[in-house]
Amino acid sequence: MEIIVKLEKESFSKDDIIRLLKSEGEEKNALFKKSGEVKEKYIGNKVWFRGLIEFSNICGKDCLYCGIRKGNKNLKRYNLSDDEILAAAKFAFDNNYGSVALQSGEIESPAFTKRVIKLLNNIKELSDGKLGITLSVGEQEPEVYNEWFDAGAHRYLLRVESTNRELYSKIHPNNKKHDFQRRLDCLKSLQDIGYQTGTGVMVGLPFQTLEDLAGDLLFMQDFNIDMCGMGPYIEHADTPLIINADKLLPLKERFDLTLKMIAVLRIMMKDINIVAATALQAIDPIGREKAVKIGANILMPNITPGKYRDSYKLYDNKPCTDNSAEDCQSCLEARVSLADAEVIYSEWGDSQHYEKRRYKRSC
């Protein structure tokens, strides 16, 4: 089969990737089999948890797809207290999660910078330095990234959303606050500072082509990312992009395409960390488990206090919004074993790619 020949290649061209993203039936099975084998060989059948704390839905930006955009007035805004955030981190630590991920809407201000530094210090303190910390709080100045790195954050997730400039400008307002070049500059600073650097895209956006998606994967490879989080785009009724709802692939196809993106990326970048995004579960009840089987190795159980979860709705039908942190943990653990994988507790589960990249640089 032509696809098998492609799968055995050392590196993929854009056309190869498009071909793989088009695979169906037997060919798709061959792709998933291969990506599952690569994961098993390089990572093992393992999954690491990052306890996700969505600590505020207040956002200074207006991305056209995002439910917590500044312009959405149909949303109750919240900001967890420091005590609530630290209690969630303590829950993660007591339950032997290796890491937490702090995520919020995007705010750039000295007060926000200071607050995050304090939280990082406190989380390190309450866990005796043992909890790993991923930050995902958007575009910031290099000095700010530096200060947070020094305070103990060691991974940063900043999705590029799409690497096609033209598409980027169709899904963001065209102003200085939503500038594609700044997104790239931020990713570069994160990498230069020494963060394990993660990015990702939404799959199935209006106007997005398979060529765009292939370009996204090649960008990730060229940029030498350490981590990736990719999920299907899911429309949100209170966002401007909803007017393009008629241009979208059916949800099931967006889901399938996301799995193929994860599988191809796993084959291209064998030792990076790949998140099984929550948005997959909004489409398929066992969507995240399917992603784990074919290549993902990171899950982010939501440990945000239950009463706030409903308000961190990036897209419609977001799952797990009425659960407690305990519910998410036992549910996810059962699900991971369904995918024949094992949750590894009390370990950071750092990106092997990062370790090797750093080692190479110091030699």
Interface residues toward ligand 5AD, by CB under 6 A = 65-66, 159, 161, 202, 231, 233-234, 236, 279, 314-315
Q: 183 CB contacts (<8 Å, ≥6 apart)?
A: 139, 158, 160, 161, 168
Residue 61 interaction partner, one of ligand FES, ligand 5AD, none, beta carbon < 5-8 Å per kind: ligand FES
The reply on whether position 105 binds ligand FES by CB under 6 A is yes
Residue 59 interaction partner, one of ligand 5AD, ligand FES, none, beta carbon < 5-8 Å per kind: ligand FES
**Nearest to ligand FES of 155, 183 (CB atom):** 183
Q: How far is the CB of 302 from ligand 5AD (least distance, A)?
A: 13
Give the distance from CA 242 to its chain's centroid.
22
Q: Residue with the closest Cβ to ligand FES? A: 63
With contact defined as beta carbons under 8 Å apart, do 75 and 67 qualify?
A: yes
The reply on whether position 69 binds ligand FES by CB under 6 A is yes
238: which 2 tokens? 């209170």
**Nearest to ligand 5AD of 216, 289 (CB atom):** 216
Dihedral angle sign, alpha carbons of residues 147, 149, 152, 153: positive
The reply on whether position 161 binds ligand FES by CB under 6 A is no
Q: How far is the CB of 117 from ligand FES (least distance, A)?
A: 21
Q: How far is the CB of 65 from ligand 5AD (least distance, A)?
A: 4
Which x/- pattern, by CB under 6 A, does the window 26-65 give for ligand FES?
Answer: ---------------------------------x-xxx--
With contact defined as beta carbons under 8 Å apart, do 51 and 99 qualify?
A: yes
Give the DSSP per-residue string, 174-191: SSGGG-HHHHHHHHHHHH
Q: How far is the CB of 249 from ligand 5AD (least distance, A)?
A: 13
* Amino acid code (one letter) for 87: A
**Nearest to ligand FES of 66, 263 (CB atom):** 66
Residue 39 interaction partner, one of ligand 5AD, ligand FES, none, beta carbon < 5-8 Å per kind: none
From candidates 31, 66, 228, 300, binder to ligand FES by CB under 6 A: 66
Q: How far is the CB of 240 from ligand 5AD (least distance, A)?
A: 11
- CA-closest candidate to residue 274, choices 358, 337, 353: 353
Q: Which value, in Å, is the radius of gyration of the alpha carbons in the chain?
A: 19
Question: Strand runs (DSSP E) across the chain, as ranges?
Answer: 46-56, 99-104, 132-136, 155-157, 196-199, 202-203, 227-232, 273-276, 298-299, 342-344
Q: How far is the CB of 66 from ligand FES (least distance, A)?
A: 4
61: which 2 tokens? 């930006």
Q: How far is the CB of 238 from ligand FES (least distance, A)?
A: 12
How would you label 181-215 residue by residue, b for 16+ Cβ within 10 Å and e otherwise?
Answer: eebbebbebbbebebbbbbbbbbbbbebebebbbb
The footprint of ligand FES (CB under 6 A) covers 59, 61-63, 66, 68-69, 105-106, 138
